[in-house]
């Protein structure tokens, strides 16, 4: 990421434009929505975005007074309990948009006043924090629209999100999935995590540390709808022996027989995409399955989920001959930034692409789409790396250690500037509203 003042201000404007586009067509009632434990009221969420930007850049970095007298009581996610956010005296949508603009204007004015000097490390850090925070919430707003059955987002300028001709050709000319199989990883010593040599690194990616990984085989692609459908057809949701204790409790509580958005009509499967029901594409990655469902499938298939160390090694290691993987890629294909030939990110095609596509994005071991398209569950419980020190935003990681599972890789609505091989996402194992699937390892 470029950390010049002009690049930072352009990115802040672009991110805000994306946020506004994601909610621009929604009326006031939709901005509140039903009370669910897996989403936020969108009216609260966009106010929180502005408050977070104001808090870290204007107030903490520059000592400004709050723009809203009661802003902390409304929008501080660390103090405002999730279940109360529908009951708060929130601003109207127009008032919230006005507040968002006021904050952004002041932040941009601060950047403009400093444009003749290089960004100091502290300023670059907090501006990066609020930018990437908005990117993460834009992805959350997208899956909230899916959860609530709202229409697919519509952006005025789709040029940068459409498939290029070369990408379209790649999608047409791929070999059958049966030829892809597993990638065999020889194992060895590998450095897990991100080095603190960049302007901004999330605290849970540090400190980088050496791990010993046994040899393993991992699927070169994410699991497809067709593969998961075979588990469903074999009554996988009814077989107690396939589920861990907590997973079976979840299964009984929700009383489900298939992924959350799947629908059956005779012998044919369909799925809901936003507010439309479409035929289930067997070559797309299975999506909106939680960790329990992924784990049960693995038991049925005689496979297992990869650990996050295995996942990161398969995605980022360069082949080694001495057992030490001392060369590490930022992305599966190398250190060059993502583009449409390598990864499905940034809402480019407004959904997933088939799992065999985008060969230009393969890792050194031949694993495909490890960045973009669909988040991938791992077997690992989210926790601190050795030497962990919380960042200034202490609530980002620490409260979630121990109760969440790690996901890796990003999805089609993840921003290119956010994602890389060492990025760690984390959700409770029962969440299936996010754009998550998985790939598997041989036992």
Task: State residue 115's pLDDT score.
Answer: 76
Q: How confident is the model at residue 418 (pLDDT cuts 50, 70, 90)?
A: very high
- Are 396 and 438 part of one and the same domain? yes
- Are 49 and 133 part of one and the same domain? yes
Pick the residue with more confidence: 339 or 159?
339
Q: How confident is the model at residue 155 (pLDDT cuts 50, 70, 90)?
A: confident
Task: State residue 162's pLDDT score.
Answer: 37
The pLDDT of residue 160 is above 90: no
The pLDDT of residue 360 is above 70: yes
- 359 DSSP 8-state letter: G
With respect to residue 378, please indicate whether it lies within any of the assigned structural domains. Answer: yes
Q: What is the pLDDT of residues 225-248, one digit of tens each?
A: 999 999 999 999 999 999 999 999
With respect to residue 18, please indicate whether it lies within any of the assigned structural domains. Answer: yes
Packing angle between helix 93-113 and helix 42-53, nearest 10 degrees? 20
The pLDDT of residue 172 is above 90: no
With respect to residue 79, please indicate whether it lies within any of the assigned structural domains. Answer: yes
Cis preceding-peptide flag for 207 (omega within 30 of 0) = yes
Task: State residue 198's pLDDT score.
Answer: 85
- Are 62 and 140 part of one and the same domain? yes
Task: State residue 128's pLDDT score.
Answer: 95
Average pLDDT in the 161-167 region? 37
Q: What is the pLDDT of residues 288-344, one digit of tens each?
A: 999 999 999 999 999 999 999 999 999 999 887 666 677 899 999 999 999 999 999
With respect to residue 369, please indicate whether it lies within any of the assigned structural domains. Answer: yes
With respect to residue 392, please indicate whether it lies within any of the assigned structural domains. Answer: yes
H or E segment at 210? Answer: strand 209-213
With respect to residue 235, please indicate whether it lies within any of the assigned structural domains. Answer: no
With respect to residue 256, please indicate whether it lies within any of the assigned structural domains. Answer: no
Packing angle between helix 121-147 and helix 93-113, nearest 10 degrees? 160
- Are 203 and 316 part of one and the same domain? yes
Q: What residues contact 61, with CB distance under 8 A and at least 6 apart?
A: 122, 123, 126
Residue 34's CB is within 10 A of a number of other CB atoms, namely 9
- E-state strands within 305-416: 324-325, 375-381, 405-408
Q: How confident is the model at residue 156 (pLDDT cuts 50, 70, 90)?
A: low
Please identify, among 98, 120, 147, the residue that sits at the C-terminal boundary of a domain: 147
- Are 211 and 358 part of one and the same domain? yes
The pLDDT of residue 67 is above 60: yes
Task: State residue 170's pLDDT score.
Answer: 41
Task: State residue 137's pLDDT score.
Answer: 98
Pick the residue with more confidence: 195 or 172?
195
- Are 19 and 109 part of one and the same domain? yes
- Are 106 and 206 part of one and the same domain? no
Query: What is the Cα–Cα distance from 54 to 9, expressed in whole angstroms?
Result: 15
Domain enclosing residue 75, as ranges: 5-147
The pLDDT of residue 161 is above 50: no
Query: Sheet of 375-381: strands edge to edge?
Result: 425-427, 405-408, 375-381, 436-437
Task: State residue 339's pLDDT score.
Answer: 96
Q: What is the CATH number of the domain that holds 352?
A: 3.90.1580.10
With respect to residue 293, please indicate whether it lies within any of the assigned structural domains. Answer: no
Average pLDDT in the 116-135 region? 90
Query: What is the Cα–Cα distance from 147 to 139, expressed in whole angstroms?
Result: 12
- Are 137 and 177 part of one and the same domain? no
Mean pLDDT of the chain: 92
The domain total for the chain is 2
Please identify, among 147, 174, 197, the residue that sits at the C-terminal boundary of a domain: 147
Q: Phi first, then psi: what are they for 211, rounded to 5°?
A: -130, 155
In 3D, which of 293, 192, 278 has the Cα closest to residue 239?
A: 293
Task: State residue 178's pLDDT score.
Answer: 54
- Are 74 and 126 part of one and the same domain? yes
Q: What is the CATH number of the domain that holds 123?
A: 1.20.120.450
Task: State residue 167's pLDDT score.
Answer: 39
Task: State residue 113's pLDDT score.
Answer: 87
- Are 43 and 99 part of one and the same domain? yes
Contact 349, 202 (CB under 8 A): no
Average pLDDT in the 22-33 region? 96
Average pLDDT in the 404-427 region? 98
How much is the CA Rg of the chain, to the nearest whole Å?
22
Task: State residue 179's pLDDT score.
Answer: 59
- Are 377 and 427 part of one and the same domain? yes
- Are 191 and 127 part of one and the same domain? no
Q: How confident is the model at residue 174 (pLDDT cuts 50, 70, 90)?
A: low
């Amino acid at each position: 990421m470029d950390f010049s003042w002009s690049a930072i201000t352009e990115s802040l404007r672009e991110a805000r434009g994306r946020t506004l586009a994601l909610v621009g067509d929604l009326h006031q009632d939709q901005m509140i929505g039903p009370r669910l434990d897996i989403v936020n009221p969108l009216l609260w969420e966009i106010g929180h975005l502005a408050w977070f930007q104001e808090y870290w850049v204007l107030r903490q970095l520059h000592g400004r007074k709050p723009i809203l007298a009661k802003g902390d009581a409304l929008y501080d996610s660390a103090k405002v309990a999730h279940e109360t956010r529908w009951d708060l005296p929130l601003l109207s949508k127009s008032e919230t948009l006005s507040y968002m603009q006021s904050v952004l204007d002041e932040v941009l004015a601060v950047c403009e006043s400093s444009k003749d000097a290089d960004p100091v490390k502290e300023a670059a850090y907090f501006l990066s924090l609020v930018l990437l925070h908005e990117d993460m919430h834009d992805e959350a707003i997208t899956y909230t629209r899916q959860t609530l059955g709202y229409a697919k987002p519509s952006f005025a300028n789709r040029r940068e999100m459409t498939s290029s001709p070369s990408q379209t050709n790649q999608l047409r000319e791929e070999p059958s999935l049966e030829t892809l199989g597993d990638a065999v990883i020889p194992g060895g010593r590998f450095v897990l995590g991100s080095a603190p040599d960049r302007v901004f690194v999330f605290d849970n990616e540090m400190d980088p540390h050496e791990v010993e990984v046994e040899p393993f085989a991992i699927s070169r692609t994410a699991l497809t709808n067709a593969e998961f459908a075979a588990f469903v057809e074999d009554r996988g949701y009814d077989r107690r022996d396939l589920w861990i204790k907590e997973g079976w409790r979840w299964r009984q509580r929700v009383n489900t027989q298939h992924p959350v958005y799947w629908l059956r009509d005779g012998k044919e499967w369909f799925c809901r995409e936003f507010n439309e029901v479409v035929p289930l594409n067997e070559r797309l990655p299975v999506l909106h399955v939680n960790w329990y469902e992924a784990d049960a499938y693995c038991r049925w298939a005689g496979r297992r989920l990869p650990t996050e160390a295995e996942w990161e090694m398969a995605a980022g290691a360069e082949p080694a001959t001495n057992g030490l993987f001392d060369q590490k890629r930022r992305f599966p294909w190398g250190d060059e930034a993502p583009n449409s030939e390598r990864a499905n990110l940034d809402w480019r095609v407004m959904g997933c692409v088939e799992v065999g596509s985008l060969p230009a994005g393969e890792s050194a071991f031949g694993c495909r789409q490890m960045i973009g398209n669909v988040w991938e569950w791992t077997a690992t419980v989210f926790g601190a790396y050795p030497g962990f020190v919380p960042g200034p935003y202490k609530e980002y990681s620490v409260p979630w250690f121990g109760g969440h599972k790690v996901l890796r890789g990003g999805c089609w609505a993840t921003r290119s500037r956010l994602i890389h091989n060492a990025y760690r996402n984390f959700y409770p194992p029962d969440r299936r509203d996010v754009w998550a699937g998985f790939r598997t390892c041989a036992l």
